[in-house]
Amino acid sequence: MILRYYADAEISEWHDHALRLLKTLHDEYGITVEIDRIDEQHGLITDFPGEVRYPTPEDVYERDLKRNRELNQVIEQTPSEAFKRYGKLDIAGNISVVDDGGTVWWASTLPGYADGYRLDAESRTAMDFLEDIAASPSNRLCVECLSLLDGDESFCPNCGYEVP
C-alpha cells in the first residue's frame, strides 16, 4: 500500500502538516509514502522518507483518476466531477491510497479539513484522513486489502482481516 500526496496543498500550514503526517505514517507504521508534486507553491521538500516526483497534473489525472472504476465506486462524485471541475484539473492538495499494482483505490476529493464544508465532508477530506490514519490506521482503512473502514469493525468486511 502506498499513500500518495498530490502536492502542494494551497495553504502552507496544510502542506507542512501533510508532510509531517506522511513522515509519521512512514516511520511508525512502515507505510510507503510518496509525493507527486504537481503544483509547486511552497518551499523545497527536504527530509521526506519517500519518492518525490514532479509530473504534470494531466499525467496524474490520466494515470490515477480518469475512468478509474475502483475509485468511482468509493467516492461520491465521478473522478471527472471531483478532479476536473469545469474542464480544469483540480487535484493538488489531495491524498490517494494506491495498491502495489499502481491502482488508486481511494482519493480524497477535498484538499483541506472538513471545517468549512458541509457536515458529512470528513470522509472526503485529505487532512482529516491523514490525521485519522496517523492516529490509528485501522480506523479508516484495512492495511491488508485497502478497504475503507468505519472505525468500529473488528474484522475487515471485505477480506476478513482482524483489525487490530
Residues that bind Zn ion (CB under 5 A): 142, 144-145, 147, 156, 158-159, 161
Would you say 33 or 156 has its CB closer to Zn ion? 156
Minimum CB separation of residue 164 from Zn ion in Å reads 12
Question: Between residues 123 and 147, which has the closer beta carbon with respect to Zn ion?
Answer: 147
Q: How far is CA 119 from CA 53, 92, 111, 114, 131, in A?
A: 34, 23, 16, 7, 17
- Distances 71 to 42, 98, 117 between C-alpha atoms, Å: 29, 10, 21
125 versus 147: smaller Cβ distance to Zn ion: 147
CB 145, min distance to Zn ion, A: 3
Smallest distance from Zn ion to CB 132, Å: 17
Smallest distance, Zn ion to C-beta of residue 141, A: 8
Contact 22, 29 (CB under 8 A): no
Grid coordinates representing 49 are 522518507
In this complex, which beta carbon is closest to Zn ion, that of residue 108 or of residue 147? 147
